[in-house]
Structure 1
Amino acid sequence: MPDLVSAILEPGLLTSAPVRTAAVIGGAAAVVSSAIGVFTVIRGQSFAGHSLADVSSAGGAAAFLFGINPLLGFLLMGVVAAVSMEAFRIDRASERDLVTGIVTGAGLGVSALLLFLVATTKHTAAGATVTVMFGSMFAISPTIVPLVLTVGAGAILGIALLYRPLLLCSLDPDLAAVRGVPVRLVGLAHLVVLALAVALSAITVGAILSTALLIGPAAIALRWAKRPGTAILYAAAIGLTSTWAGIVIAYDSYVWTGGHGWPVSFCIVSIIFVVYLAAAMVSRDGAGRSPGTRQSRKASGS
């Protein structure tokens, strides 16, 4: 057993400060993103999650430009985007996607401008672009750990408070309205919590790849779980395991590649992708509704 552990864990892994910081921040981001991702998949709002991630990149770029905490930048821009998308809420799916696409384009345009200003004023365009878009987990400052844990705890609390009304609104909004549930307010609250999750994942795996951490574990869990609550636990476990395994592989790769190493974000996303493919091959439920939606309806008694 010791030989097996030493073969998997390269010397210095458990004592490395950057690795410990990455494990804490990445773990918090994985749990929050995977949990809210279950509702995002059930509601068919994966594109909204991707849009919030893209728009939040403008906040990350602004943080580099003005020298502020990058998580605050991602958070602020993500929440603004969430409120904007709900403010222009349209019932028809095609028009919702149109509004979301417009918001996404505007956010990416602002991000391009801010990264250009970073390049012309601070001469760190390459590093800023890579960090904002693809993450740099081993370079995260440990000083942001308290803020990450606070945001993560707030997001988990939000998920707990929203669980029942959000599930009912996701499965049957008309029934929810009849029962007096404020459907639009619940939808806005979901988007705000989603923005918190996206900000956490963006600070770890980058704005572009954060959707994989948001949607991947949730999609896998909804194939296996019979109830939404169980799916949330499965998704959190899958996201956390994938993130920590990706950190280990990325650290070990410094030895395999002669000191260069693979990006942590690539390792995490690759693990999630492989697990999803395996889950899809094992559980071929077939046509029509996704397994998660069908199970959720059954669990809610709809």
Structure 2
Amino acid sequence: MFDYEFMRNAFYACTIVGIVSGAVGYFLVLRGQTFAGHALSHVGFPGATGAGLIGLSPFLGLTVFTVAAGIGIGLLGERAHRDVAIGIVLTLSLGLGLLFLHFYTAFASQATNVLFGNVLGISLRTVIVLAVLAVAILVALLLIARPLLFASLQPELAEARGVPLTLVSTLFMVLVAVATSEAVQIVGVLLVFALMVAPAATALRLTSGVGAGVLTSIALAVIIAWISLTLAFLTDWPTSFWITALGAAAYVVSGMVRRPSVRETQSADAGP
């Protein structure tokens, strides 16, 4: 299997994206913003198709659109009707993507890769780009981790202590946007939830500490990606299918051995 360069590149890419998705996804689930993360992946679709329409890199267009949307979602903060606004933007984005695709039918094959991912077609150059972005995301996440965690678990107290909630939320959503752009390379915009949310949600069920939770989320994301690649190679079934199936299975199984979550632990500590 590793005699093939495309398989080696695929494993490199899955490892990189798994680490980023596991780390960012943990905080995304902890903050209850999974729907926002889901919307970001869909917003990237018109960005990719629009970029293809004018002759630019689909990955560039996808990243620009998701980052712009991430900033917008972050600025919305916790305002009422935020989910309604996100839902409308999500459906509009898919519509725009289809419109751009209508005007540029030659992009149809690439659009399929954007929608469902094509990890086996990743080049070494793309792997290097993913690695550079991953380092930047992880460093930025580490820098905002403390205020982000404080704002996620106790937002009222964090605001009273002077934590700029809107700024922290916006910075985090930008990181989610870039991480989503990376994950799309593996599972596509329609299935990015599987790699960013399933391992993180499973980790939250299995651990009661933040550090252990993040590491567990990363480990699960990477292991799921590795096993999925191996099964895809052996069965010729899509890698994205295996990632979604294994992610769902891990989440279901974790429910049988569930431990108190970070939020529950915090609530117990803050109780009378």
Q: Identify which of 128, 137, 142 aligns with 1:146.
A: 128
Q: Identify which of 229, 233, 242 aligns with 2:211.
A: 229
Aligned residue identity for 1:16: Y
User: How far apart in 1 are the matches of 2:173 and 2:269?
Assistant: 23
Q: Does 1:267 align with 2:237?
A: no
Give the match's secondary structure for 2:3: coil
User: How far apart in 2 are the matches of 1:111 and 1:244?
Assistant: 31
Larger radius of gyration: 1
| Corresponding position of 2:169 | 187
Q: Give 1:292 shift.
A: 4.1
Alpha-carbon RMSD: 2.0
| Corresponding position of 1:200 | 182
Q: What are the equivalent positions in structure 2 for 1:23-102 lying under 5 Å apart?
A: 23-92=11-80, 95-102=81-88
The answer to whether the 8 A contact 1:212-1:272 is kept is yes
Q: Give 1:250 shift.
A: 0.3
Call closer, same or farther: CA 1:19–1:63 in 2, change over 3 Å. Answer: farther
User: How far apart in 2 are the matches of 1:33 and 1:88?
Assistant: 23
Q: Does 1:116 align with 2:140?
A: no
| Corresponding position of 1:258 | none
Aligned residue identity for 2:83: D
The answer to whether the 8 A contact 1:227-1:296 is kept is no
Q: Does 1:291 align with 2:236?
A: no
User: How far apart in 2 are the matches of 1:299 and 1:235?
Assistant: 24
What are the superposed Cα offsets for residues 215-243 of structure 1, whole Å, 9 maximum, x if unpaired? Answer: 10000001111211110000000000000
| Corresponding position of 2:114 | 132
Q: Give 1:297 shift.
A: 5.2
- TM-score, length-scaled by structure 1: 0.84
Q: Give 1:136 shift.
A: 1.1
The answer to whether the 8 A contact 1:55-1:108 is kept is yes
The answer to whether the 8 A contact 2:42-2:190 is kept is yes
Aligned residue identity for 2:87: G
User: How far apart in 2 are the matches of 1:179 and 1:88?
Assistant: 21
Call closer, same or farther: CA 1:298–1:185 in 2, change over 3 Å. Answer: farther
| Corresponding position of 1:10 | none
Give the match's secondary structure for 1:226: coil
Call closer, same or farther: CA 1:65–1:174 in 2, change over 3 Å. Answer: same
Q: Give 1:129 shift.
A: 2.9
User: How far apart in 1 are the matches of 2:71 and 2:125?
Assistant: 29
Call closer, same or farther: CA 1:207–1:280 in 2, change over 3 Å. Answer: same
User: How far apart in 1 are the matches of 2:14 and 2:39?
Assistant: 21
Give the match's secondary structure for 2:104: helix
In structure 1, list runs of 5 or more residues that go unmatched: 1-12, 254-260
Give the match's secondary structure for 1:208: coil
| Corresponding position of 1:245 | 227
User: How far apart in 2 are the matches of 1:266 and 1:220?
Assistant: 18
User: How far apart in 2 are the matches of 1:158 and 1:206?
Assistant: 24
Q: Give 1:282 shift.
A: 2.8
Call closer, same or farther: CA 1:299–1:61 in 2, change over 3 Å. Answer: farther
The answer to whether the 8 A contact 2:10-2:119 is kept is yes
The answer to whether the 8 A contact 2:137-2:175 is kept is yes
The answer to whether the 8 A contact 1:33-1:197 is kept is yes
Identity of aligned residues (%): 32
User: How far apart in 2 are the matches of 1:296 and 1:215?
Assistant: 22
Give the match's secondary structure for 2:79: coil
In structure 2, list runs of 5 or more residues that go unmatched: none
The answer to whether the 8 A contact 2:49-2:97 is kept is yes
The answer to whether the 8 A contact 2:44-2:65 is kept is yes
Give the match's secondary structure for 1:51: helix
Aligned residue identity for 1:273: A
User: How far apart in 2 are the matches of 1:282 and 1:57?
Assistant: 37
